[in-house]
Amino acid sequence: MSQQVSHETTAADGVNRRSVLAGLAGGVASMGLLAPAATAAAAENGGRPQHDERVEALLKKMTLAEKVGQLQLVGDETTARAALADGRLGGVFSVVGAAKLNALQHLAVERTRLKIPLIFGLDVIHGYTTNFPIPLAQGASFDPAVAGADATVSAKEARGSGIHWTYAPMMDVTHEPRWGRIAEGYGEDPYLATQLAVSKVRGYQGRDYSAPDRLAACAKHFVAYGGAEGGRDYNTVDVSLQRLHNFYLPPFKASVEAGVATVMASFNTISGVPAHGNGYVLHDVLKGRYGFGGFVVSDYTGIQELILHGLAGDGADAAAAALPAGVDMEMVSTNYAEFAQRLLDQRRITRDQIDDAVRRILLVKFRLGLFDHPYVDESTEVKAPSPAALAASRQAAGRCMVLLKNDGPVLPLAKSVGSVAVVGPLGAATYDLNGTWSGLGTGASTTPPVTVVDGIKAAAPGATVTYTAGCTVDGTDTGGFAAAQQAARAADVTVVVVGETAAMSGEAAARSTIDLPGVQQQLVAAIKETGKPFVVVLVNGRPLTIPYLHDNAPAVLEAWAPGVQGGHAIADVLFGTVNPGGKLPVSFPRAVGQIPIYYNHENTGRPADPANKYTSKYLDLESGPLYEFGHGLSYTTFRIDGLRLSDTRLPARGGRIQVSVRVANTGSRAGDEVVQLYLRDPVASIVQPVRRLRGFQRVTLAAGASTAVSFTLTPDDVGFYDNTAAFRVEPGKIEVYVGNSSAATLSSSFTVV
């Protein structure tokens, strides 16, 4: 499939409008220029890491114990110091603080025989000190530069504080909103996830990840973790070969091509074989077919868990499965260190396999510059967000918000409003606005996000702003409803802020229902009873089932977990300083019983037809999602028309077709529209989805302005992997749909020849 990171947009009525974030964090604007030279070299070498004389010289000096030590990654200072006493440690994760990290590095560099520096890792997922919106929210921006800005700011803060390596980006595509880790990825579409993931890799690593403001990135989780049955974390994934390659693997393939330094194995099984022991995905596909030359790290105790999975009988079996499969570094558990010699003696692993793993790890350490500059300048440690970082986070959050509904319209609110009642348990929340995986970096836990109440006060300084919780996020007490109603009756407008706490999404945070928790929906109903104007703001880490809000709230703004500047960013949108332009990166179901529901589904032989009982639907529920993938409103209106194809025939080898449309702002204020291009292959040897996203462009237009948007399609865009994992481009008709969501109706077609 095509792995284009962006599409050119030509402006007929003015300059080319590009994301305001493109230059925010220094280097994001040029990230598309990164050449994946290391990846190409690895591919030429059959997936082995690029030859490096320094690595080879060091390998020749190493004992088996020292080699196996490089394969060990631990997560605390005490264990690290014990391992360093014998010179048997490759890296440390989840230890923060420049002085602590330097102390450990001094032990490695000054007190071990070969003076090999440690690599320091951390889950820098959407911020180190400055928290950006969660990745799912970044997917809603439909703007790769948002992910790039996050990564660039995060890399500068983390590397300046002694961290070398981040366990991000997570690029698990999923159809499962009950799965808590949907918050960490980019939603349900592999093409969108690919564009955001590649941008984030380049933001973290830049042109040279030895630079003092860059990190080694880690593509995770390899692979198909988002297919966990029932949305339960760590659960089984049963997937066909064609779906593995068409749906789950594209973001990883593109990230390898972009030069990602490392990859993390996933917790799940893949068609019966746990990823940590799955030689097909790690050895054959990742290191073989893709030519990945970096190293693969296990997830937390992932190798040890091969025993509970039932693939291994004991730790020796686990090590004997994981190393040949392609896991190079073991996180937390110690099976490589304990059993390597025995397994060599039994010929269950080979010295070449150990050397290959060590070679990969050392190569990344050399590329990080750790042998020349092992220590961090403790004076550069970042303990508080800079003004520039805060501005970048605020701007990113504004670009990520999605206006789901706006009857009236109620929004935007007038800055001259006399009084505003903020109601709801998240109206004065702080750290819940950061969402999952926040606060790990030095300073992050001491810089609380701006609350919605404070953001509204700053946006409307002449207004009287009150706050009443009304209830807790997940409690059952309705005793606060009366006070909330009283506040609403006394105000000109009420902003109801409801949703999830940070702990309700992320790892080990699956939910069996995805309604508003507790009595929050009843609180919204109580505010509606007052008869006064109100809007609902959602703070959450996953899609929610909100048909009541859709039917009863005049306006609904999806703010996600917006980060450290969340309150300001929400107020920016509520009062129209920012015109929302985000789109849903994932479908919102009507009810939990619909799950999985997603736009890129197969048609079936009996697609849903409300007039025919014997079709694929529910008796008690309307077909289709509540809000479709790509949905999002604006404070202005747009028209997309003039669909043109440069040709009606696409040669299967080397062909190209330009698809162009014209988008016009037909409203009274400037705003953003996301032009989305979808393809459908109606007849194929492997049944294809009813639509596949193959291009998008977010454009900013002044009131009355218009621009031409064009996309380039190649055979990669119409091809697919079959059940032998062969990529096929088949002759026949391809349907083209362009619009502002996956429900686009503007269409044309061409023929692959």
The residues annotated as belonging to the active site are 299
Q: What is the dihedral of CA 365, 267, 255, 253, to 10 degrees?
A: 130
Rounded Cα–Cα distance for residues 442 and 446 (Å): 8
Q: How far is residue 353's CA from residue 56's CA, in Å, rounded to a whole number? A: 15
State how far the alpha carbon of 459 is from the alpha carbons of 374, 426, 566, 569, 573, in Å. 46, 18, 13, 10, 10
Please give the helix or strand (H or E) that residue 38 lies within, else none.
Answer: helix 37-44
* Residue 170 DSSP label: B
How far from the centroid of its chain's Cα atoms is residue 46's Cα?
30
d(CA 550, CA 573): 19
Coil vs helix vs strand at 669 = coil
- The string of DSSP letters for 292-361 reads --SEEE--TTTTTTHHHHTS-SSHHHHHHHHHHHT--BEES--HHHHHHHHHHHTTSS-HHHHHHHHHHH
- Sheet order of strands, 657-665 included: 9-10, 706-713, 657-665, 638-645
Residue 160 to residues 98, 148, 164, 215, Cα–Cα distance (Å): 8, 18, 9, 10
Nearest one of 408, 741, 476, 423 to 588, comparing CA atoms: 741
Amino acid type, 327: V
Which residue bears the tokens 């409203």? 667
- DSSP summary character for residue 413: P
Q: Kindly state the tokens that stand for 270.
A: 């893949």
How far CA 662 is from CA of 3, 13, 54, 134, 691, in Å, comes to 24, 11, 55, 32, 21
Rounded to an integer, what is the distance from CA 15 to the centroid of its chain? Answer: 31
Alpha-carbon 722 to chain mean position: 27
On whether the CB atoms of residues 447 and 132 are closer than 8 A, the answer is: no
DSSP category for residue 289: I
Q: Per residue in 304-324, is it b (16+ CB within 10 Å) or e — as a string?
A: bbbbebebbeebbbbbbbbbb
**C-alpha separations of 170 from 198, 239, 446, 575 in Å:** 11, 19, 26, 33
Cα–Cα distance for residue pair 398/546, rounded to 1 Å:
22
Residue 417 · residue 134 · CB < 8 Å: no
Percent composition of the chain: helix, strand, coil (DSSP 3-state, to 5): 35, 20, 50
**Which runs of E-coded beta strand occur in 44-86?**
72-74
Encode burial over 599-628: b for 16+ CB neighbours within 10 A, e otherwise: bbeeeeeeeeeeeeeeeebeeeeeebbbbb
For strands 555-558 and 493-499, give the pairing: unpaired
Residues in contact with 57: Cβ distance below 8 Å, sequence separation at least 6, in sequence order: none
The answer to whether 507 and 436 are in contact (CB under 8 A) is yes
